């Protein structure tokens, strides 16, 4: 698939640079044409000689050399994809702010191709709000950002920040260069995030859902050409695709209303939201003051949105529910599929490390009417979303 594709790799100053040697080897083996740019700091971590030998091209480091000037505009136009791996905190920050003080940054700013950033850094730097801000800006600018891995870090600590493995970067390059229009113009309705059920003006009943799985689904389906409507509970993430129409809601009943209005037109409906099953029976217009040693809150049941849509579902529509169980997982998932008239249930496992609320990874099992059909193992939420999209494309 990558035969004759032109891949430009920008390496920055991070210990993970050594892994890029393997990436170059994989790309050359697949028949791609590879050129490599190093930032001055990267030359401390990886040998230009190894990279030029493997890539069969001169490795570029300087904007100006004794023999001339590296034409950054032509390099940016030459590439089918530019991969910045490892992307250090410093380079990410420079890219986000449009700085141009080395060859790699000049090529980035001139590039007209897709850009894949593969961050690598220590966990504290990865978690810093400034890094998050820079990544958000880079996404808004149209770049694709790969997730970091969890494990041993150069500092000796263990946590998030490891650069993605060469094979995963290779797969990401392949998927960026493959146009997949398998869901062209299909109408896909997705719910994501938690719901907040108000108790009084300052309190609510909610849950730990961050919406990451639902947003990953929206992005993957939109990338495949679908018209996506994303009904999102209160979350702190952005959707980045012109094919995604986002509708923000707060409570389960607001989510119900928005979903019910759009469901009849949907080809596919995926309910990944963690909807509150109950809401306070009464909303207090004023803040509830503390009184005795205990407080009783009366709750009443919310409508089950998935079940309600299951009742209206036409044969041509595909309905997907999510389930989160702590015990008897398979039996409960199958029961949910039947009771709610869903075509698929995606079971989230809380048993594995790296899966569940807030993580960028997940571990799921998908059930259809005949039983268990797919188990993912620990994968990024984006990869899991792609697997779900594959299953839906085949079904359609
Ligand atoms: N769901 C929904 N409306 C609700 C509750 C849940 O649409 N009021 C949907 C969720 O979006 C998810 C699926 O139903 O797709 C499973 O939700 P879950 O809370 O795991 O199951 P419940 O049906 O609430 O059952 P239980 O709490 O007994 O597990």
Q: Is pLDDT at 177 greater than 90 in this prediction? A: no
Q: Is pLDDT at 356 greater than 70 in this prediction? A: no
Q: Which atom of ligand 1 is nearest to the CA of 332?
A: 29
List the structure tokens of 195. 């719901």
Is the C-beta atom of 302 inside 6 A of ligand 1?
yes
Is the C-beta atom of 189 inside 6 A of ligand 1?
no
State the pLDDT confidence band at 141, using cuts at 50, 70 and 90: confident
Specify the pTM.
Answer: 0.67
Q: Are strands 33-38 and 6-11 parallel, antiparallel or unpaired?
A: parallel
For the annotated catalytic residues, the residue numbers are 207
Q: Is pLDDT at 69 greater than 70 in this prediction? A: no
Q: Is pLDDT at 67 greater than 90 in this prediction? A: no
Compute how many other C-beta atoms are within 10 angstroms of the C-beta atom of residue 179: 9
Give nearest CA residue, ligand 1 atom 20: 323
Give nearest CA residue, ligand 1 atom 8: 304
Q: 296 or 73: which carries more pLDDT confidence?
A: 296
Q: Is pLDDT at 310 greater than 90 in this prediction? A: yes
Contact partners, residue 40, CB within 8 Å, separation at least 6: 13, 61, 62, 102
List the structure tokens of 143. 């770049």
Task: Determine the 3-state secondary structure of 207 from DSSP.
Answer: coil
CA distance 308 to 340: 8
Q: Is pLDDT at 345 greater than 80 in this prediction? A: yes
CA distance 218 to 70: 40
Q: What are phi and psi of 341, to 5 degrees?
A: 55, 40
């Amino acid at each position: 698939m990558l035969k004759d594709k032109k891949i430009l790799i920008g390496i920055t100053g991070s210990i993970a640079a050594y892994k890029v040697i393997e990436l170059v080897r994989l790309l050359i083996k697949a028949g791609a044409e590879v050129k490599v740019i190093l930032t001055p700091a990267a030359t401390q971590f990886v040998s230009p000689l190894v990279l030029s030998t493997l890539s069969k091209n001169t490795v570029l480091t300087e904007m100006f050399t004794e023999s001339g000037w590296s034409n950054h505009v032509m390099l940016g136009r030459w590439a089918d994809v530019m991969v910045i791996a490892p992307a250090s905190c410093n380079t990410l920050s420079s890219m986000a702010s449009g700085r141009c003080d080395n060859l790699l940054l000049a090529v980035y700013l001139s590039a007209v191709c897709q850009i894949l950033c593969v961050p690598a850094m220590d966990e504290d730097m990865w978690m810093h709000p400034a890094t998050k801000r820079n990544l958000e800006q880079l996404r808004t600018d149209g770049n694709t950002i790969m997730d970091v891995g969890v494990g041993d870090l150069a500092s000796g600590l263990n946590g998030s920040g490891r650069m993605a493995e060469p094979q995963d970067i290779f797969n990401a390059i392949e998927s960026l260069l493959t146009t997949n229009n398998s869901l062209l113009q299909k109408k896909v309705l997705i719910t994501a995030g938690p719901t907040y059920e108000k108790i009084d003006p300052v309190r609510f009943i909610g849950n730990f859902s961050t919406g990451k799985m639902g947003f990953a689904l929206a992005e993957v389906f939109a990338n495949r050409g679908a018209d996506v409507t994303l009904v999102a509970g209160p979350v702190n993430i952005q959707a980045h695709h012109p094919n995604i129409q986002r509708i923000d809601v707060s409570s389960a009943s607001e989510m119900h209303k928005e979903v019910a209005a759009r469901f009849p037109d949907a080809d596919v409906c995926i309910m990944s939201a963690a909807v509150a099953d109950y809401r306070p029976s009464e909303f207090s217009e004023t803040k509830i003051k503390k009184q005795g040693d205990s407080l009783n809150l009366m709750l009443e049941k919310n409508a089950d949105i998935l079940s309600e849509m299951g009742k209206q579902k036409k044969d041509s529509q595909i309905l997907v529910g999510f389930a989160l169980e702590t015990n008897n997982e398979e039996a409960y998932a199958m029961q949910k599929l039947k009771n709610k008239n869903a075509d698929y249930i995606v079971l989230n496992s809380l048993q594995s490390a790296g899966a569940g609320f807030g993580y960028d990874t997940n571990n799921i099992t998908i059930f259809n009417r005949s039983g268990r059909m797919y188990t993912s193992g620990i994968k990024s939420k984006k990869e899991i979303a792609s697997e779900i999209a594959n299953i839906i494309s085949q079904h359609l």
